[in-house]
Chains A and B, each alone.
Chain A
Amino acid sequence: MQQLTIENLHVTIGDQEIIRGLSLTVPRGEVHAIMGPNGSGKSTLAKVLAGHPDYTVTAGSVTMDGENILDLEPDERARQGLFLAFQYPSEIPGVTIANFLRAAVQSRMLDGEELEATDYYAQLYKKMDLLEMDRSFTSRSVNEGFSGGEKKRNEILQMALLEPKYAVLDETDSGLDIDALKVVSKGVNSLRGPNLGVLLITHYQRLLNYIVPDRVHVMVRGRIEMSGDKDLALQLEEKGYDWVRDDIDEPALA
């Protein structure tokens, strides 16, 4: 089963339930988009998949290629092939991108296996060229003082270098101008292929003009309430999220 499967997921933070019975399947080789209004729980879903300690999963399961990942530590999930592109990537003063990425690549190697420096840099520079990033970038501290665009490009660079099986892109388009959006989209599109499943989380339809999804899901109040092909995104753009909400509320009223 080459797919990321979320079944009946319930998640709380403190006393509050944020995800309330969410089910979703992303097969490898496909790009799925999750759209939803603010506060619908989209970013929570991204963090929960990556294993953020602030959230508690109270019910449901998440499997990656058939294996349960909910019992794994965040770093174990990552090494199993799950990648999260953060909406707000952390700034880490004093830790250079080069050292950080080396540690990340090294962590995926077997015990006793040493990273070959020349290969590593060759790989790194190739991906950086793809994302139109300057070489001097690697000596800067991780995300420190980066513009919004630089941060997002740095996320995609890591995705390119770490070659995940599934990537969750959390509002990767937010805070980007049109040029940066094009560069980032180009990066993501170049990574598309039969070995990668992508879950794109976004508030706006705009991103989906550049990264065209195979499926679009609408998330409202912690659940997927509607799914469809890419045209669903256009419908949403036209009618707004209230259209979905009204749709849900009607049966309740009846």
Chain B
Amino acid sequence: MSNSSALLEEVAAVAPEPGGILGGVGNRNADLPAWFREQQQVAWTEFQSLPMPAPKDQAWRFSNVKALDLAPYQLPVALSDAETRNLLDRSTELSETSGRLVFGNDQFLERDVCSEKLRAAGVIFQPLERAMIEHEELFRRHFMNQPATLGSAKFAALHQAFVRSGTFLYVPRGIELELPLETFHWLHGENVSIFPHTLLVAEENSKVTLVEHFRSADRSRAGFSCGVNDLVVGPGAKVHYVCTQDWNDRALGIQINATTVARDASALNLYLNLGGKFSRLESLSRLIGEGGRSDMLAVSVGDGAQEFDARTLQDHASPHTFSDLLFKNALHDRARTTFGGLIRVEPHAHFTDAYQKVRNLLLSDDAEANSMPGLEILADNVKCSHGATSGQLDEDQMFYLLARGIPAAVARELLVGGFLTEVLERLTSSALVVRLEELIADKFVRRSR
């Protein structure tokens, strides 16, 4: 332990060179293990060899690929003590947690992270750069071993070429964490880029909830986040993963998720997307063992010229598996969303139940929703359905609220909140639901200003 702590002191001391990310990673990660940097080199070569997404790519259909210009983005400089303190002060969302990690510009800022009790039980909750040394074998077994198949192979390569920090969470067999773990990733500075990584491994019959928050330090400076979060859910394990994304509206965000669900395990992913100029989520659930279940949830609230782009795959590779996707979008102003989702039931994955629903609420005449829900069914004895709707607030509901004296703006907010609640309520923790509702309400307050 003490060794790696010393190493971390060093990490903090090495100030990364500023420069455009398209110039490569340079010496930035010189402090990381050689094997890791070799992988980064390979990834960089791959990034350079892959083409940028084009509008005719099926995986980018309807997306504004022009938003993906990476030229402006720089590697961050180290944060000052005052900046670090400021970010740490702002890094609390949940009142009760089992532990917390805070990162600013890919720099690990807080190290009092997890109780002694959990540590004694074998729970590992530590920054990536430490895990790759202290738990090399475990780390290497799972790190970046799910190819990005939903369009962002190039960005996954970019992520791997640059990643240097993030969350490593390991929950041993049979261990159940009652309270959630929480992490923060801050973007700080002009045109700064970060590469947040999360690797969660939940062993057999364990149970854990991880809540991550993506934030900009201010609401005006542009930035770029290219993150990967991989969840490995062992047999019988239960994982809830919640990500609240509230970048400022000049940020570009790409988030690539792979969730692997083993026999009798269950995973729940919920993404709350509030911020970003262009924000793309690629989420893959692979159901590889009988009895596995995956819930894929997202709520996006867009305004201004925000664009949310979501691509999902519910990949049923084993019989007797279940997946349920529910994405809801509420769009003001010129906001637009694209949803491209696929349920794929592999040959022999019989007795599968798979559902997919996307609901768009268009709140302005310039808002736009694109929906591409898809099914590929190669097995029988399946129950699969999908649905996509786009509509507006119900006039009768609106009149009912007005007739009770509730002003139109408040009525609209209540109805939008009600529309989104169906997704949030899939979470079992009511404290978490309340917090997410507050984050949505905050966005309405920002809007009304």
Contacts and interface: CB of A to CB of B under 8 A. Distances in A.
Direct contact of A and B (CB under 8 A): yes
Interface stretch (B276-284, B331-339, B403-411): B403-411
Nearest to A49: B403
B419 interface: yes
A52 B399 contact: yes
Contact of A86 (B400, B405, B414): B400
**Chain B interface extent, by class:** 20 to 34
A27 to B, nearest CB: 23
Contacts of A52: 399
B391 interface: no
A55 B400 CA distance: 15
Given A95-B415, A95-B418, A158 B404 contact: yes
A13 interface: no
Interface in B381-400: 394-397, 399-400
B411 A93 contact: no
B373 interface: no
B72 interface: no
A234 interface: no
A94 B405 contact: no
Given A74-B399, A99-B414, A100-B414, A94 B420 contact: yes
Nearest to B400: A90
A93 B405 contact: no
Given A94-B419, A95-B414, A104 B400 contact: no
A192 B207 CA distance: 57
A78 interface: yes
Contacts of A93: 418-419, 421-422
B407 A94 contact: no
Contact of B411 (A75, A84, A158): A75
Given A89-B400, A90-B400, A92-B397, A78 B405 contact: yes
Given A53-B399, A92-B400, A107 B418 contact: no
Contacts of B414: 92, 95, 99-100, 103
B407 to A, nearest CB: 5
Contacts of B99: none
Nearest to A108: B405
Contacts, number: 83
Interface in A60-99: 73-75, 78-79, 83-84, 86, 89-95, 99
Given A90-B396, A90-B397, A94-B422, A74 B403 contact: yes
Judged by DSSP, the binding face of A is mixed
Interface in B416-436: 417-422
Nearest to A168: B403
A141 interface: yes
Contact of B418 (A78, A86, A92, A162): A92
B413 to A, nearest CB: 9
A217 to B, nearest CB: 23
Interface string B240-270: 0000000000000000000000000000000
B175 interface: no
A167 B420 CA distance: 33
Given A90-B396, A90-B397, A93-B422, A79 B417 contact: no
A104 B417 contact: no
B22 interface: no
Contact of B404 (A91, A99, A104, A141): A104
Given A90-B394, A95-B417, A100-B414, A78 B403 contact: yes
A50 interface: yes
A141 B420 CA distance: 13
Nearest to A81: B405
Interface of B: 394-397, 399-408, 410-411, 414-415, 417-422
Interface of A: 50-53, 73-75, 78-79, 83-84, 86, 89-95, 99-100, 103-104, 107-108, 141-142, 158, 162
27 contacts: A50-B399, A53-B395, A53-B399, A75-B402, A78-B402, A78-B405, A86-B403, A90-B399, A90-B400, A92-B400, A92-B415, A93-B419, A94-B417, A94-B419, A95-B414, A95-B418, A100-B404, A103-B406, A103-B410, A103-B411, A103-B414, A104-B405, A104-B406, A107-B404, A107-B406, A107-B407, A162-B404
